């Protein structure tokens, strides 16, 4: 009981006592009852307000926690950028030197492997940049793009093991969005699906447009997400993997929300659903 609640209940007790004393004096009793009713409705409103205040306080604490987590991500991103840029630069420049100096002696397969190394290193650069962008909340670079090309780029940028089959959609949708940021969103989701598939399995990607909303679904035949973890997976730094960062889904949610969209997840089968405003 709060101090205010205590004061109110003492006042209500005194009123009840007064009611006993005023027995027979109908006019005074009537006035007292009206006063009592007024008092009770005031007391109800006060406890409603207290509840609202408690809720706002809880929300404020959550926001502070989120801000602290973001600050941690910022620190992590800065140190990652610093530590990874140099070795990545060494990788890309060495590959370039090999490509230029040994061009004639290298077969097609080796050349394509080398270009894959460069692509992967560039993707890592891009991801580091994008985590920083997320921390800095850079505005989107919107253009009209083919959703199919976008998904294809995401798949091409990932090393998919042979045990996993990815089924891309065969319909096409044009979408106004930030191409490179959404490619990384889908790379994150597809990578998570690949990591969740222990042996062989599949990833189905479906797209459709209805009443001005574009829906993209990524379904996988992986291990699923334990139901008690479902509410946590979009929290920053939440991971169940030994080498996970817990940044992937935070990034996805942030980018999707920057596009005024939503991202949700369900089990059986594990399906991530992204809804974006369409044409």
Q: Which is nearer to Mg ion, 39 or 234 (CB)?
A: 234
Query: Binding to ligand ADP (CB under 6 A): which residues in 176-215?
Result: 188, 192-193, 196
Q: Is 130 in the site for ligand ADP (CB under 6 A)?
A: no
Picked from ligand ADP, Mg ion, none, the partner binding residue 81 (CB below 5 to 8 A depending on kind) is none
Cα-flanking dihedrals φ and ψ of residue 46, to 5°? -65, -40
Q: Is 238 in the site for ligand ADP (CB under 6 A)?
A: yes
Q: Which is nearer to Mg ion, 151 or 190 (CB)?
A: 190
Question: Environment class of residue 78 by beta-carbon count within 10 Å: exposed (0-12), middle (13-18) or buried (19+)?
Answer: middle
Of the candidates 166, 207, 246, 253, which one interacts with ligand ADP according to CB under 6 A?
246
Helix %, strand %, coil % for the chain, to 5? 60, 15, 25
In the chain, DSSP finds a helix count (H) and a strand count (E) of 6, 7
Q: Both tokens of residue 164?
A: 């996993």
Picked from Mg ion, ligand ADP, none, the partner binding residue 245 (CB below 5 to 8 A depending on kind) is ligand ADP
Side-chain-facing half-sphere of 241: CA atoms under 13 Å: 14
Q: Is 248 in the site for ligand ADP (CB under 6 A)?
A: yes
**Contact window for ligand ADP (CB under 6 A) among 1-9, 37-45, 105-113, 240-248:** 240-248
Question: Environment class of residue 130 by beta-carbon count within 10 Å: exposed (0-12), middle (13-18) or buried (19+)?
Answer: buried
Q: At what angle do helices 26-101 and 108-136 cross, to 10 degrees?
A: 150
Side-chain-facing half-sphere of 205: CA atoms under 13 Å: 23
- Residue 45 belongs to what H/E stretch? helix 26-101
Q: Which is nearer to ligand ADP, 209 or 235 (CB)?
A: 235
**Contact window for ligand ADP (CB under 6 A) among 114-122, 136-144, 205-213, 234-242:** 234-242
Q: Where does the chain have alpha helices with state H?
A: 3-21, 26-101, 108-136, 147-156, 179-196, 248-258
Query: Binding to Mg ion (CB under 5 A): which residues in 245-264?
Result: 248
Quote the CA–CA distance of 144 and 121 in Å, as a whole number. 27
Query: Binding to Mg ion (CB under 5 A): which residues in 183-202?
Result: 192
Which residue is nearest to ligand ADP, using beta carbons? 248
Least distance (Å) between residue 248 CB and ligand ADP: 3
The radius of gyration of the chain's CA atoms, rounded to the nearest angstrom, is 29
Q: Which is nearer to Mg ion, 94 or 240 (CB)?
A: 240
Q: Is 239 in the site for ligand ADP (CB under 6 A)?
A: yes
Of the candidates 151, 182, 185, 249, which one interacts with ligand ADP according to CB under 6 A?
249
Site residues for ligand ADP per CB under 6 A: 188, 192-193, 196, 220, 222-225, 233, 238-241, 244-246, 248-249, 270
Site residues for Mg ion per CB under 5 A: 192, 248
């Amino acid at each position: 009981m709060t101090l205010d609640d205590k004061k109110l209940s003492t006042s209500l007790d005194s009123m009840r006592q007064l009611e006993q004393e005023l027995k027979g004096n109908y006019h005074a009793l009537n006035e007292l009852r009206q006063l009592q009713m007024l008092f009770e409705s005031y007391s109800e409103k006060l406890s409603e307000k207290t509840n609202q205040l408690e809720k706002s306080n809880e929300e404020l604490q959550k926001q502070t926690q989120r801000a602290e987590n973001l600050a941690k991500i910022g620190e992590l991103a800065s140190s990652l950028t610093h530590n990874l840029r140099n070795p990545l630069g060494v990788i890309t420049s060495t590959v370039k030197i090999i490509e230029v100096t040994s061009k004639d002696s290298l077969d097609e397969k080796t050349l394509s492997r080398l270009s894959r190394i460069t692509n992967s290193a560039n993707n890592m650069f891009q991801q580091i940049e994008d985590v920083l962008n997320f921390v800095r909340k850079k505005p989107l670079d919107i253009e009209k793009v083919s959703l199919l090309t976008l998904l294809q780029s995401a798949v091409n940028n990932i090393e998919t093991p042979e045990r996993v089959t990815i089924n891309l959609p065969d319909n096409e949708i044009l979408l106004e969005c930030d191409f490179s940021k959404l490619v990384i969103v889908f790379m994150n989701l597809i990578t998570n699906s690949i990591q969740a598939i222990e042996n062989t399995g599949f990833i189905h990607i479906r797209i459709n447009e209805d009443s001005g909303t574009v829906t993209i679904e990524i379904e996988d035949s992986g291990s699923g997400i334990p139901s008690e973890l479902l509410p946590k997976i979009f929290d920053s730094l939440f991971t169940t993997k030994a080498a996970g960062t817990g940044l992937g889904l935070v990034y996805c949610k942030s980018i999707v929300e920057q596009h005024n969209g939503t991202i949700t997840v369900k089990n059986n089968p594990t399906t991530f659903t992204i809804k974006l405003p369409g044409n």
